[in-house]
Chain A
Amino acid sequence: MNEIPELLEQGVRRAARRLALQRAFRAGLGAGTVFAAGLAAAAVATLVLPLSPVPIGLTLIATGSVITLVTGFLMLVRPVAPITAARLLDLRGGLEERASTALEVGESGAASVLARRLLDDATSRVETINLRAVFPWRLPRWAWVMPALALFMALWPSTLGGVAIPGTPAHRTQQAIKREGSRLEQFARSLQSRARSQRVPQTRRVAPQVRDLGVRMQQERLERAEALARIGELSRQIEEARREVDGRLRSQAPQREGALPQELFRRQALQQQVRQLRELTTRLRQNPEAAPTDALQRLGEITQSGEGDQPAQVRRQLERAREQLQQGNAAGAGESLGEALRELEGLESMLADAEGLRSAQQQLERSQRAIASGDAGAREGEAAEDQSQSQARADAPGENAPEREPGADALPPEGPHEGTTAGQGRVREKMGEPTDRLEAARKPERLRGAQSEGPVSSAEVVGGGRQTTARRKAEAVSPTIVAQADRAMENARTPGRYRALVRRYFERLARLR
């Protein structure tokens, strides 16, 4: 009985491992090439579809991972049989079938005259063989495809990246990006002009960035993901700035229980206090001897109206001014009031800054949503533009086309006041279901009229509210509702009487807490 010598077995096993690795690597390379080809195809598809090509770095990492995973997996599940390895070893190592014959003879346990000699001969030959030379690492003939794909992916952004075939969804998305870029630019210009007239450093800093982003979105060939990423990045920066401003505002806010209802009210109240203080300060500076009683009364009103909203420093200054007035020191009171005025003006600036930042953030969010909605949004926009143009051509009696406000023909936003565009839908439908929060009496009204020649403009008109009793009792609401109410009040051109009503509601709410 002849057994397979250990050295022969080891040599064959080594060869089997190397062969299995090479075979698995070839398969892994194939899988990686197919994967990379898929990514390249996806990049080509961006000419038609609003997709984002995978960056070259990510492509290389992902392809490398695929190669590694497939190679490792196949190494585990598809090992090379020792007899196969021995045969290949014979063939490529010039062993003249010694190893494979010896392995078969050893496994069969044949006891022929020449079996022992064969086993010894094969062992000595296998021992001296250099596996690296016999099974060298050779790349397959199609291996050039991989670097070609990598080169393609590397050159794509600088050559065809962002290019879209007209009429395709990708093209429509690009149009949407450019349109939103234009909107951002316009918004940034108005923000800049507002920032110039006010002391709003953060808004002043942010406005050029928004404008720059808008310009870039119009000029550069941006993919959707890239555009969204840039908007997201700027939005994040603005958010940081806003938090900083909010932090400073919070540090100056009066210490009291309950949340500050809404900054809009606070700012309006501050503006009113600033106006009153400025008037009183001016009066005291111009005529310190005149009517101290009246000045004291005005100061008391200011202190009372600003109670709860004024920072402690301002309150101290006002208290000091009141004491100085009582002591007949009108000049000192004027200085104290001046100090309080500066404090309030600073606070008001910060509020304006926060408001500017918030509006920038909201505009960015709107653009982000419009771009993210993608093809559908773009189609909508294009359809609106087309409709507007065709209607303009049809309606225009002469050479002068009627001008319309942008977005006038767009579908109305969702919500209880849906359907504000004149002549569309029924009033009851547009009003929507009554909310359970403020069951106010509603009076559905619809303005009727015929379109005449000349420019057409369409806008939402909010009629005067009628004071009624809310059926729902005041109770603590979630911060989300508070924030929504804040935003709604800030955006809507709410009549003064209605605003006062809402404000009282929230003040009662705050006291309940």
Chain B
Amino acid sequence: MTPEEFTSSFDRIRAEVRKVIVGHETLIDHVLIAFLAGGHVLLEGVPGLGKTLLVKTLAQALELAFSRIQFTPDLMPADIIGTNVVMQDAEGRRYFEFQRGPVFTQVLLADEINRATPKTQSALLEAMQEHAVTAAGNSFQLEEPFFVLATQNPIEMEGTYPLPEAQLDRFMFKVKAEFPSAADLVEIIDRTTVVEQPHPAVVASRDVIRQMLRLAREVEVASHVKAYAARLILATHPGDSRSANMARRYVRYGASPRAVQALILTGKVRALIAGRANISFGDLKALALPSLRHRIILNFEGEAEGVDPDAVILNALDETPELEEAKA
């Protein structure tokens, strides 16, 4: 696959998704970028913003298997992974057979993930990181590509279980779904309240998706760009000599090493979309917010003052020079 083919495939997928989803251009781009970088996305937004529709549309456009799990407090890990069921053969002998759960898919929508208990939430950990599931001593490999899109409601906090840091860190992006504008709402009315509703066509096969995933990793990164990414991550840590002012004051723990991986991987996809074979500082800056915002843990002062992690990241971006040479 050539970069031009990558770009045209990406454009086609985006166009197909936009046929169904109104507005949310940045959100769609970020979801697609994370998907092509081989990561997962945590989507934060109030109900009714089209999160489920987005994932469903994506799966349809890419001809991928799709599952949806509605997380509730009584959901058990086995409900996600699957369980051994006692079966009886023709001779009357009983045996255990593993019944695969909804995680055995390619595009998984974990709806309102913060409503399940941490135990259930953790059931997704291995699947998200290793793309594999272990049940009753048996390990099952998930089919590639495997993409989890989890949603959570930022308003209703009662009866919810905030995601543990370890799980949050496994999401490549945390994307915020903004409420649509008036024009977008009108467009939603026009598209969804008529007889004929738009249906996405298949625009990229699984094979194409796999090629795109592989090509994205071929993008070149200069040493000083890597160094900048590293400095940016360190700037979110309060104890580092290069930490930004806000990080020093409001942050308990800064972004993890997975953050720098996420930055570079998603940066590579963004570079290819822009027709480049290398990552630029602009790529890293554009993707810093969705990559880092869920990985920054505020301290008591930050929580008390209601500091937004986005502000900490923007401050770190401001205070981290792109080039050490540029200072001279």
A residues engaging B (CB < 8 A)? 23, 84, 87-88, 90-91, 96-98, 100-102, 104-105, 110, 112-115, 117-118, 121
Chain A contacts for B213, CB-based, 8 A: none
A114 & B280 in contact (Cβ 8 Å cutoff):
no
B223 & A121 in contact (Cβ 8 Å cutoff):
no
> Whose C-beta in chain B lies nearest to the C-beta of A26?
B328
Known: A23-B328, A121-B277. A97 touches B3 (CB 8 A): no
A121 & B276 in contact (Cβ 8 Å cutoff):
yes
Chain B contacts for A96, CB-based, 8 A: 274, 276, 278, 280-282
Can you list 26 contacts pairing A with B, beta carbon distance less than 8 Å?
A23-B328, A88-B325, A91-B281, A91-B322, A91-B326, A96-B274, A96-B281, A96-B282, A97-B222, A97-B278, A97-B280, A98-B276, A100-B222, A101-B222, A101-B225, A104-B220, A105-B220, A113-B215, A114-B215, A114-B219, A114-B278, A115-B220, A118-B220, A118-B277, A118-B278, A121-B277
A102 & B278 in contact (Cβ 8 Å cutoff):
yes
Docked complex Cα distance between A379 and B223 (Å): 71
Chain A contacts for B219, CB-based, 8 A: 114
Docked complex Cα distance between A104 and B227 (Å): 14
B301-327 CB mask vs A (1 if < 8 Å, else 0) is 000000000000000000000110110
Contact of B224 with A by CB under 8 A: yes
> How many whole Å from A80's CB to the nearest CB in chain B?
9
A97-B278, A121-B276 known; 9 new pairs, CB 8 Å cut-off, are: A88-B325, A90-B280, A101-B279, A104-B220, A112-B220, A114-B215, A114-B219, A115-B277, A121-B277
B282 & A101 in contact (Cβ 8 Å cutoff):
no
A101 & B323 in contact (Cβ 8 Å cutoff):
no
Contact of B218 with A by CB under 8 A: yes
> How many whole Å from B328's CB to the nearest CB in chain A?
7
In terms of DSSP, what is the predominant structure of the interface of chain A?
helix
A97 & B225 in contact (Cβ 8 Å cutoff):
yes
Docked complex Cα distance between A90 and B219 (Å): 17
Docked complex Cα distance between A98 and B220 (Å): 10
* Choice from B215, B281, B326 contacting A97 with Cβ under 8 Å: B281
> Whose C-beta in chain A lies nearest to the C-beta of B284?
A97
Chain B contacts for A84, CB-based, 8 A: 325
Chain A contacts for B281, CB-based, 8 A: 91, 96-97
B residues engaging A (CB < 8 A)? 3, 215, 218-225, 274, 276-282, 322-323, 325-326, 328
Chain B contacts for A117, CB-based, 8 A: 3, 277
Docked complex Cα distance between A114 and B216 (Å): 10
Docked complex Cα distance between A96 and B276 (Å): 9
Docked complex Cα distance between A118 and B278 (Å): 7
Most buried by A among B224, B225, B279: B224
> How many whole Å from B215's CB to the nearest CB in chain A?
7
Docked complex Cα distance between A105 and B279 (Å): 13
A100 & B224 in contact (Cβ 8 Å cutoff):
yes
B222 & A104 in contact (Cβ 8 Å cutoff):
yes
Chain A contacts for B328, CB-based, 8 A: 23
Docked complex Cα distance between A132 and B7 (Å): 34
> Whose C-beta in chain A lies nearest to the C-beta of B274?
A96
Docked complex Cα distance between A378 and B320 (Å): 64
Docked complex Cα distance between A211 and B280 (Å): 81
Docked complex Cα distance between A294 and B276 (Å): 129
Docked complex Cα distance between A90 and B323 (Å): 11
B277 & A97 in contact (Cβ 8 Å cutoff):
no
B279 & A112 in contact (Cβ 8 Å cutoff):
no
> Whose C-beta in chain B lies nearest to the C-beta of A114?
B277
> How many whole Å from A106's CB to the nearest CB in chain B?
11
Docked complex Cα distance between A97 and B264 (Å): 14
> How many whole Å from B37's CB to the nearest CB in chain A?
16
Docked complex Cα distance between A464 and B282 (Å): 106
Chain B contacts for A114, CB-based, 8 A: 3, 215, 218-220, 277-278
